[in-house]
Amino acid sequence: MTLALFQQPICWEDPAANFRMVEQQLASLTSPVDIILLPETFSTGFSDNMARMADAPEGVTLDFARRMAARHDALFVATWTVRDANGAVYNRLHWVRPDGTYGCYDKAHTFRMSSEASQLVAGRLAVCFEWRGWRIRPAVCYDLRFPVWLRNRYDAAADRLDYDLLLVCANWPASRHQAWSTLLRARAIENQCYVAGVNRVGDDGVGIHYAGYSAAVDFKGEDRVVCQPDAPDFQCVTLDKEALQTFRSHWPFYLDGDGFSIAN
Protein backbone atom coordinates (compact mmCIF):
# COMPACT_ATOMS: atom_id res chain seq x y z
CA MET A 1 0.00 0.00 0.00
CA THR A 2 1.58 3.28 -1.13
CA LEU A 3 0.53 6.54 0.51
CA ALA A 4 1.14 10.12 -0.59
CA LEU A 5 1.34 12.47 2.40
CA PHE A 6 0.55 16.03 1.37
CA GLN A 7 1.79 18.43 4.08
CA GLN A 8 0.46 21.75 2.82
CA PRO A 9 -0.10 25.30 3.94
CA ILE A 10 -3.77 26.20 3.64
CA CYS A 11 -5.04 29.37 1.98
CA TRP A 12 -7.28 30.88 4.63
CA GLU A 13 -10.98 30.46 3.84
CA ASP A 14 -10.26 30.17 0.11
CA PRO A 15 -11.41 26.80 -1.29
CA ALA A 16 -10.66 27.65 -4.92
CA ALA A 17 -7.04 28.53 -4.12
CA ASN A 18 -6.61 25.36 -2.08
CA PHE A 19 -8.06 23.23 -4.88
CA ARG A 20 -5.53 24.73 -7.30
CA MET A 21 -2.64 24.13 -4.91
CA VAL A 22 -3.58 20.50 -4.30
CA GLU A 23 -4.15 19.82 -7.99
CA GLN A 24 -0.77 21.32 -8.92
CA GLN A 25 1.07 19.38 -6.23
CA LEU A 26 -0.56 16.08 -7.17
CA ALA A 27 0.46 16.66 -10.79
CA SER A 28 4.05 16.09 -9.62
CA LEU A 29 3.35 12.44 -8.77
CA THR A 30 5.66 10.30 -10.89
CA SER A 31 4.41 6.84 -9.87
CA PRO A 32 1.08 5.35 -8.82
CA VAL A 33 -0.16 5.66 -5.24
CA ASP A 34 -3.07 4.02 -3.45
CA ILE A 35 -4.01 6.78 -1.00
CA ILE A 36 -3.69 10.57 -1.06
CA LEU A 37 -3.86 12.02 2.48
CA LEU A 38 -4.36 15.73 3.20
CA PRO A 39 -4.61 17.86 6.35
CA GLU A 40 -7.84 18.52 8.25
CA THR A 41 -10.17 21.14 6.68
CA PHE A 42 -7.85 21.27 3.68
CA SER A 43 -10.08 23.59 1.66
CA THR A 44 -10.69 26.35 4.24
CA GLY A 45 -8.36 26.02 7.21
CA PHE A 46 -9.47 25.48 10.82
CA SER A 47 -11.48 28.67 10.91
CA ASP A 48 -13.98 30.21 13.31
CA ASN A 49 -16.18 30.43 10.21
CA MET A 50 -16.19 26.68 9.53
CA ALA A 51 -19.95 26.43 10.00
CA ARG A 52 -20.66 29.39 7.74
CA MET A 53 -18.37 27.97 5.05
CA ALA A 54 -19.72 24.42 5.27
CA ASP A 55 -20.34 22.73 1.93
CA ALA A 56 -23.32 20.66 0.91
CA PRO A 57 -22.84 16.89 1.25
CA GLU A 58 -22.65 16.63 -2.56
CA GLY A 59 -21.02 20.01 -3.08
CA VAL A 60 -18.03 21.47 -4.88
CA THR A 61 -15.45 20.00 -2.50
CA LEU A 62 -16.68 16.49 -3.10
CA ASP A 63 -16.66 17.20 -6.85
CA PHE A 64 -13.00 18.20 -6.59
CA ALA A 65 -12.14 15.13 -4.52
CA ARG A 66 -13.82 12.88 -7.07
CA ARG A 67 -11.79 14.43 -9.91
CA MET A 68 -8.52 13.93 -8.04
CA ALA A 69 -9.35 10.35 -7.05
CA ALA A 70 -10.27 9.45 -10.62
CA ARG A 71 -7.27 11.21 -12.16
CA HIS A 72 -4.76 9.46 -9.89
CA ASP A 73 -6.62 6.15 -9.44
CA ALA A 74 -6.24 6.59 -5.69
CA LEU A 75 -8.32 6.99 -2.57
CA PHE A 76 -8.57 10.72 -1.78
CA VAL A 77 -8.73 11.25 2.01
CA ALA A 78 -9.42 14.67 3.54
CA THR A 79 -11.82 16.54 5.80
CA TRP A 80 -14.05 19.50 5.16
CA THR A 81 -17.13 20.84 6.90
CA VAL A 82 -20.51 19.66 5.67
CA ARG A 83 -24.00 20.92 6.47
CA ASP A 84 -26.63 18.18 6.35
CA ALA A 85 -30.28 18.45 5.36
CA ASN A 86 -31.25 19.25 8.97
CA GLY A 87 -28.76 22.12 9.20
CA ALA A 88 -26.25 20.29 11.41
CA VAL A 89 -22.59 20.92 10.52
CA TYR A 90 -19.88 18.27 10.87
CA ASN A 91 -16.11 18.17 10.43
CA ARG A 92 -16.38 15.23 8.06
CA LEU A 93 -13.52 13.06 6.88
CA HIS A 94 -14.18 11.64 3.42
CA TRP A 95 -12.54 8.79 1.58
CA VAL A 96 -13.35 9.14 -2.10
CA ARG A 97 -12.72 6.27 -4.50
CA PRO A 98 -11.68 6.59 -8.15
CA ASP A 99 -15.16 5.51 -9.28
CA GLY A 100 -16.72 8.47 -7.43
CA THR A 101 -18.23 6.52 -4.55
CA TYR A 102 -17.23 7.57 -1.08
CA GLY A 103 -17.54 6.96 2.64
CA CYS A 104 -17.26 9.32 5.57
CA TYR A 105 -16.53 9.67 9.28
CA ASP A 106 -17.61 12.61 11.42
CA LYS A 107 -14.97 13.86 13.87
CA ALA A 108 -15.97 12.52 17.26
CA HIS A 109 -13.93 14.86 19.45
CA THR A 110 -14.59 18.46 18.48
CA PHE A 111 -11.97 20.76 19.97
CA ARG A 112 -13.45 22.51 23.01
CA MET A 113 -10.54 24.97 23.27
CA SER A 114 -11.67 26.56 20.00
CA SER A 115 -15.04 27.47 18.53
CA GLU A 116 -15.26 24.08 16.78
CA ALA A 117 -17.12 22.44 19.67
CA SER A 118 -19.77 25.18 19.75
CA GLN A 119 -20.21 25.38 15.97
CA LEU A 120 -20.09 21.74 14.92
CA VAL A 121 -21.84 18.53 15.90
CA ALA A 122 -19.60 15.72 17.15
CA GLY A 123 -19.83 12.37 15.41
CA ARG A 124 -20.83 9.28 17.39
CA LEU A 125 -19.78 6.36 15.21
CA ALA A 126 -16.37 4.75 14.93
CA VAL A 127 -15.80 3.57 11.36
CA CYS A 128 -13.52 1.10 9.60
CA PHE A 129 -13.43 0.48 5.86
CA GLU A 130 -11.49 -1.63 3.37
CA TRP A 131 -9.33 -0.45 0.50
CA ARG A 132 -7.21 -2.65 -1.74
CA GLY A 133 -6.95 -5.42 0.83
CA TRP A 134 -6.28 -3.21 3.87
CA ARG A 135 -8.63 -2.45 6.75
CA ILE A 136 -8.45 1.26 7.58
CA ARG A 137 -9.60 3.41 10.51
CA PRO A 138 -10.02 7.16 9.92
CA ALA A 139 -9.53 9.80 12.63
CA VAL A 140 -9.34 13.58 12.81
CA CYS A 141 -6.81 15.65 14.78
CA TYR A 142 -8.08 15.85 18.42
CA ASP A 143 -9.32 12.22 18.16
CA LEU A 144 -5.65 11.22 18.38
CA ARG A 145 -5.58 12.08 22.11
CA PHE A 146 -8.18 9.42 22.97
CA PRO A 147 -6.78 5.88 22.97
CA VAL A 148 -10.04 4.22 24.00
CA TRP A 149 -11.80 5.70 20.96
CA LEU A 150 -9.06 4.43 18.66
CA ARG A 151 -8.50 1.04 20.29
CA ASN A 152 -7.84 -1.66 17.71
CA ARG A 153 -10.05 -4.43 19.04
CA TYR A 154 -9.61 -8.11 18.37
CA ASP A 155 -12.55 -9.89 16.76
CA ALA A 156 -12.23 -13.51 17.91
CA ALA A 157 -14.90 -14.79 15.51
CA ALA A 158 -13.06 -13.33 12.51
CA ASP A 159 -9.64 -13.88 14.11
CA ARG A 160 -8.45 -10.40 13.22
CA LEU A 161 -7.94 -6.93 14.57
CA ASP A 162 -10.33 -4.21 13.44
CA TYR A 163 -7.78 -2.36 11.32
CA ASP A 164 -4.31 -2.39 9.77
CA LEU A 165 -3.85 1.33 9.14
CA LEU A 166 -4.93 4.43 11.06
CA LEU A 167 -5.22 7.60 8.95
CA VAL A 168 -5.21 10.97 10.72
CA CYS A 169 -5.95 14.36 9.12
CA ALA A 170 -4.93 17.25 11.38
CA ASN A 171 -4.47 20.94 12.03
CA TRP A 172 -2.17 20.55 15.06
CA PRO A 173 -0.40 23.74 16.19
CA ALA A 174 3.38 23.91 16.38
CA SER A 175 3.26 24.78 20.09
CA ARG A 176 2.10 21.21 20.74
CA HIS A 177 4.02 19.40 18.00
CA GLN A 178 5.79 17.10 20.48
CA ALA A 179 2.42 15.73 21.59
CA TRP A 180 1.41 15.18 17.95
CA SER A 181 4.57 13.25 17.14
CA THR A 182 4.42 11.22 20.35
CA LEU A 183 0.76 10.30 19.99
CA LEU A 184 1.17 9.10 16.40
CA ARG A 185 3.81 6.65 17.59
CA ALA A 186 1.90 5.66 20.72
CA ARG A 187 -1.24 4.81 18.74
CA ALA A 188 0.86 2.69 16.34
CA ILE A 189 2.55 0.75 19.13
CA GLU A 190 -0.51 0.09 21.27
CA ASN A 191 -2.72 -0.87 18.31
CA GLN A 192 -0.08 -2.90 16.41
CA CYS A 193 -0.85 -1.06 13.19
CA TYR A 194 0.59 1.46 10.78
CA VAL A 195 -0.32 5.09 11.44
CA ALA A 196 -0.14 7.89 8.88
CA GLY A 197 -0.85 11.44 10.02
CA VAL A 198 -0.80 14.58 7.90
CA ASN A 199 -0.69 18.02 9.51
CA ARG A 200 -0.68 21.44 7.88
CA VAL A 201 2.17 23.98 7.90
CA GLY A 202 2.33 27.77 7.92
CA ASP A 203 0.33 30.44 9.74
CA ASP A 204 -3.43 30.53 9.72
CA GLY A 205 -5.71 33.55 9.51
CA VAL A 206 -5.64 34.18 13.26
CA GLY A 207 -1.88 33.90 13.66
CA ILE A 208 -1.58 30.28 14.84
CA HIS A 209 1.56 28.58 13.52
CA TYR A 210 1.68 24.98 12.30
CA ALA A 211 4.93 23.05 11.82
CA GLY A 212 3.77 19.87 10.12
CA TYR A 213 5.78 16.87 11.34
CA SER A 214 3.54 14.68 9.19
CA ALA A 215 4.67 11.06 9.35
CA ALA A 216 3.99 7.43 8.61
CA VAL A 217 4.90 5.13 11.49
CA ASP A 218 5.03 1.34 11.63
CA PHE A 219 3.59 -1.08 14.19
CA LYS A 220 6.77 -0.86 16.31
CA GLY A 221 6.56 2.91 16.49
CA GLU A 222 9.42 3.36 14.06
CA ASP A 223 9.30 6.08 11.42
CA ARG A 224 8.77 5.03 7.83
CA VAL A 225 8.80 8.61 6.59
CA VAL A 226 8.69 12.04 8.25
CA CYS A 227 7.96 15.23 6.34
CA GLN A 228 10.33 18.15 6.65
CA PRO A 229 9.16 20.38 9.52
CA ASP A 230 8.00 23.94 8.95
CA ALA A 231 7.83 23.60 5.18
CA PRO A 232 5.48 22.30 2.51
CA ASP A 233 6.41 18.72 1.76
CA PHE A 234 5.06 15.82 -0.24
CA GLN A 235 6.27 12.34 0.66
CA CYS A 236 5.33 8.89 -0.61
CA VAL A 237 5.76 5.74 1.45
CA THR A 238 4.98 2.07 0.82
CA LEU A 239 3.68 -0.02 3.72
CA ASP A 240 4.32 -3.76 4.00
CA LYS A 241 1.28 -5.77 5.09
CA GLU A 242 3.21 -9.05 5.28
CA ALA A 243 5.60 -7.50 7.80
CA LEU A 244 2.63 -6.29 9.84
CA GLN A 245 1.02 -9.72 9.86
CA THR A 246 4.30 -11.40 10.81
CA PHE A 247 4.80 -9.03 13.73
CA ARG A 248 1.25 -9.57 14.99
CA SER A 249 1.69 -13.34 14.72
CA HIS A 250 4.93 -13.32 16.68
CA TRP A 251 3.77 -10.76 19.26
CA PRO A 252 -0.02 -11.13 19.77
CA PHE A 253 -0.24 -8.54 22.55
CA TYR A 254 -3.83 -7.81 21.54
CA LEU A 255 -4.95 -11.18 22.96
CA ASP A 256 -4.33 -9.79 26.46
CA GLY A 257 -6.20 -6.52 25.89
CA ASP A 258 -8.79 -5.43 28.45
CA GLY A 259 -12.43 -5.52 27.45
CA PHE A 260 -14.56 -2.39 27.63
CA SER A 261 -17.51 -0.69 25.98
CA ILE A 262 -17.96 2.88 24.78
CA ALA A 263 -21.16 4.68 25.83
CA ASN A 264 -22.55 7.03 23.18
* Residues designated as active site: 40, 107, 141
The angle subtended at Cα 194 by Cα 133 and Cα 124, nearest 5°, is 85
In the chain, count H helices and then E strands.
5, 16
Three-state DSSP state, 89: strand
Is residue 239 within 8 Å of 1, Cβ to Cβ? yes
* CB atoms inside a 10 Å sphere around CB 104: 18
What is the Cα–Cα distance from 35 to 21, expressed in whole angstroms? 18
Is residue 4 within 8 Å of 36, Cβ to Cβ? yes
Q: In what order do the strands lie in the sheet with 2-7?
A: 102-106, 89-96, 75-83, 35-37, 2-7, 233-238
Three-state DSSP state, 118: helix
Residue 55 DSSP one-character state: B
103 CB-near residues (< 8 Å, 6+ apart): 94, 95, 127, 129
What is the Cα–Cα distance from 205 to 158, expressed in whole angstroms? 48
